[in-house]
Structure 1
Amino acid sequence: MALPVAMLGPTVAQAQGWPTAANPDEVFLYPEESEDPVLLYPDDNSSSAPSSTPPLPNSPNIQPTSVRSLQLIGGEVLTEAIAQAFYRTQLGRPADPARLERIAFAIDQWYLDNGYSLSQVSGWMIDAEGVLTVEVVEPEVNQITIRYIDNEGRALDDEGNPIEGRTRERFLRRELQLQSGAVFNQNDVIQDIQSLMALEIFENATVAVDVDEESRETPVVDVVYNLQERLSRSFQASGGVSTELGLFAGVTYRDGNFNGRGESLRFGTQVGSRGLVFSTEFTSPYRDSRPERLGYTIRAFRRTGRSVTFSDEVRLANGDDARERHFGGGGSVMRPIGDWDAELGLNYSRVSIRDDSGDLAPTDELGNDLTLDDSGIDDLLTLEFAVTQDQRVNPSNPNDGSVLTLSTEQSIPVGNGNIVMNRLRADYAEYVPVNLFNTGRRQNPEVVAFNVQAGTVLGDLPPYEAFDLGGGNSVRGYGRGDVGSGRRFFLATAEYRFPVTGPLGAVLFTDFASDLGSGSEVPGDPAGVRDKPGTGLGYGAGLRIGSPLGLIRADFGVNDQGDNQFFFGFGQRF
Structure 2
Amino acid sequence: MRQSDGVSFTSSSIKIPLLSSNLSLSQTLASQLARTRLSAFELIHSLRNRSYVKNYPTRSTESTQSELGIRSLIRSSPLLCSASLSLTTQNHNIGRSPLLYSASLLLTQPGSAESTQSGLEVPLKGQSAAAGGYDEERVLISEVLVRNKEGEELERKDLEMEALTALKACQANSALTAREVQEDVDRIIDSGYFSSCTPVAVDTRDGIRLVFQTFSFQELVFHPNVARLASSYLLVEPNGEFHRLVCEGANVLPSKFLEDAFCDGHGKVVNLKRLDEVINSINGWYTERGLFGLVSGVDIFSGGIIRLQVAESEVSDISICFLDRKTGEPTKGKTKPETILRQLTTKKGQVYSMLQGKRDVDTVSTMGLMTDVSIITQPTGDAGKVDLLLNVVERPSGRFSAGGGISSGITSDPLSGVFGSFAYSDRNLFGRNQKLNISLERGQIDSIFRINFTDPWIEGDDNQTSRTIIVQNSRTPGTLVHGNQHDNSSLSIGRVTAGVEFSRPIRPKWSGTAGLIFQHAGVHDEKGNPTIKDFYSSPLTASGKPYDNMLLAKFESVYTGSGDKGSSMFAFNMDQGLPVMPEWLFFNRVNARASKGVEIGPARLLLRLSGGHVLGNFSPHEAFAIGGTNSVRGYKEGAVGSGRSYMVGSSEVSVPMVILQGQGLSLEVDMDMGLAFG
Q: Shorter chain as normaliser: what TM range?
A: 0.5 to 0.7
Instruction: Specify the alignment match of 1:368 in structure 2.
Output: 538
TM-score, normalised relative to structure 1: 0.62
- Which protein is richer in helix relative to its size? 2
2:647 aligned with 1:480: no
Shift of 1:304: 1.4
1:40-439 alignment, distance < 5 Å: 54-56=58-60, 63-67=238-242, 70-78=245-253, 86-87=261-262, 90=265, 93-112=268-287, 115-126=289-300, 132-142=306-316, 144=318, 146=320, 157-162=325-330, 167-193=335-361, 195-196=363-364, 199-201=366-368, 210=377, 218=383, 221=386, 223=388, 233-240=398-405, 251-269=422-440, 278-286=449-457, 290-291=461-462, 294-310=465-481, 313-315=484-486, 319-337=488-506, 340-393=510-563, 401-413=567-579, 419-430=585-596
Q: Which amino acid aligns with 2:642?
A: S
Contact 1:121 1:135 in 2 (8 A): yes
Provide the rounded CA distance (Å) in 2 between the counterparts of 1:222 and 1:295: 30
Provide the rounded CA distance (Å) in 2 between the counterparts of 1:484 and 1:275: 21
Contact 2:479 2:491 in 1 (8 A): no
1:446-457 alignment, distance < 5 Å: 450-457=607-614
Contact 2:609 2:650 in 1 (8 A): yes
Q: Give a deviation string over 1:173-199, Cα, whole Å, max 9, x none.
A: 1121112442222453354345445x5
Contact 1:59 1:125 in 2 (8 A): no
Shift of 1:82: 6.8
Q: Which amino acid aligns with 2:650?
A: A
2:620 aligned with 1:463: yes
Q: Which amino acid aligns with 1:102?
A: E
Q: Which amino acid aligns with 1:55?
A: R
Contact 1:141 1:179 in 2 (8 A): yes
Provide the rounded CA distance (Å) in 2 between the counterparts of 1:183 and 1:272: 57
Matched residue SS, 1:356: coil
2:659 aligned with 1:490: no
Matched residue SS, 1:103: helix
Closer/same/farther in 2, CA of residues 70 and 463 from structure 1, 3 Å limit: closer
Shift of 1:284: 2.2
Q: Give a deviation string over 1:330-383, Cα, whole Å, max 9, x none.
A: 222334555642222222222111122211222233333322344442223322
Shift of 1:505: 11
Matched residue SS, 2:531: coil
Contact 1:74 1:136 in 2 (8 A): yes
Shift of 1:139: 2.6
Closer/same/farther in 2, CA of residues 388 and 406 from structure 1, 3 Å limit: same
How many residues in Structure 1 have an aligned counterpart in Structure 2? 438
Contact 1:249 1:272 in 2 (8 A): yes
Matched residue SS, 1:175: coil
Closer/same/farther in 2, CA of residues 84 and 322 from structure 1, 3 Å limit: closer
Q: Give a deviation string over 1:136-195, Cα, whole Å, max 9, x none.
A: 3323335545567xxxxxx66444435886543321211211124422224533543454
Provide the rounded CA distance (Å) in 1 between the counterparts of 2:325 and 2:551: 52
Closer/same/farther in 2, CA of residues 188 and 408 from structure 1, 3 Å limit: same
Q: How much is the aligned-residue C-alpha RMSD, in angstroms?
A: 4.6
Provide the rounded CA distance (Å) in 2 between the counterparts of 1:188 and 1:70: 30
Please, which moves more after superposition, 245-254 or 371-380? Answer: 245-254
Q: Give a deviation string over 1:394-439, Cα, whole Å, max 9, x none.
A: xxxx566433211111223467975332211112234568995xxx
- Which protein is richer in strand relative to its size? 1
Provide the rounded CA distance (Å) in 2 between the counterparts of 1:166 and 1:494: 46
Matched residue SS, 2:340: helix
Contact 1:379 1:416 in 2 (8 A): no
Provide the rounded CA distance (Å) in 1 between the counterparts of 2:398 and 2:237: 69
Provide the rounded CA distance (Å) in 1 between the counterparts of 2:608 and 2:433: 28
Contact 1:205 1:225 in 2 (8 A): no
Provide the rounded CA distance (Å) in 2 between the counterparts of 1:454 and 1:141: 50
Shift of 1:75: 3.4
Provide the rounded CA distance (Å) in 2 between the counterparts of 1:432 and 1:194: 28
Shift of 1:108: 2.5
Q: Which amino acid aligns with 1:105?
A: N
Please, which moves more after superposition, 325-334 or 489-498? Answer: 489-498
TM-score, normalised relative to structure 2: 0.54
Shift of 1:388: 1.9
Contact 1:499 1:505 in 2 (8 A): yes
Closer/same/farther in 2, CA of residues 412 and 507 from structure 1, 3 Å limit: farther
Provide the rounded CA distance (Å) in 2 between the counterparts of 1:425 and 1:272: 30
Contact 1:389 1:404 in 2 (8 A): yes
Taking every aligned residue pair, what percent have the same amino acid on both sides? 24
Contact 2:605 2:651 in 1 (8 A): no
Closer/same/farther in 2, CA of residues 272 and 139 from structure 1, 3 Å limit: closer
Q: Which amino acid aligns with 2:468?
A: T
Provide the rounded CA distance (Å) in 2 between the counterparts of 1:285 and 1:498: 39
Closer/same/farther in 2, CA of residues 162 and 392 from structure 1, 3 Å limit: farther
Q: Which amino acid aligns with 2:637?
A: R
Contact 1:245 1:273 in 2 (8 A): yes
Matched residue SS, 2:552: strand
Closer/same/farther in 2, CA of residues 217 and 511 from structure 1, 3 Å limit: same
Shift of 1:126: 2.7
Provide the rounded CA distance (Å) in 1 between the counterparts of 2:320 and 2:479: 48
Provide the rounded CA distance (Å) in 2 between the counterparts of 1:450 and 1:204: 36
Shift of 1:326: 0.7
Closer/same/farther in 2, CA of residues 420 and 131 from structure 1, 3 Å limit: closer
Contact 2:560 2:570 in 1 (8 A): yes
Q: Which amino acid aligns with 1:192?
A: D
Look at both structures and tell me which one has the larger radius of gyration over its CA atoms: 2
Closer/same/farther in 2, CA of residues 147 and 64 from structure 1, 3 Å limit: same
Structure 2, unmatched stretches of 5+, are 1-54, 65-235, 408-413, 659-664
Shift of 1:275: 12
Closer/same/farther in 2, CA of residues 433 and 450 from structure 1, 3 Å limit: same
Provide the rounded CA distance (Å) in 1 between the counterparts of 2:238 and 2:459: 55
Closer/same/farther in 2, CA of residues 284 and 429 from structure 1, 3 Å limit: farther
Closer/same/farther in 2, CA of residues 245 and 168 from structure 1, 3 Å limit: farther
Provide the rounded CA distance (Å) in 2 between the counterparts of 1:161 and 1:418: 60
Shift of 1:292: 6.1
Provide the rounded CA distance (Å) in 2 between the counterparts of 1:431 and 1:261: 38
Matched residue SS, 2:530: coil
Closer/same/farther in 2, CA of residues 239 and 415 from structure 1, 3 Å limit: farther
Shift of 1:466: 1.8
Instruction: Specify the alignment match of 2:189 in structure 1.
Output: none
Shift of 1:507: 6.5
Closer/same/farther in 2, CA of residues 157 and 204 from structure 1, 3 Å limit: closer
Shift of 1:209: 5.6
Provide the rounded CA distance (Å) in 2 between the counterparts of 1:164 and 1:400: 44
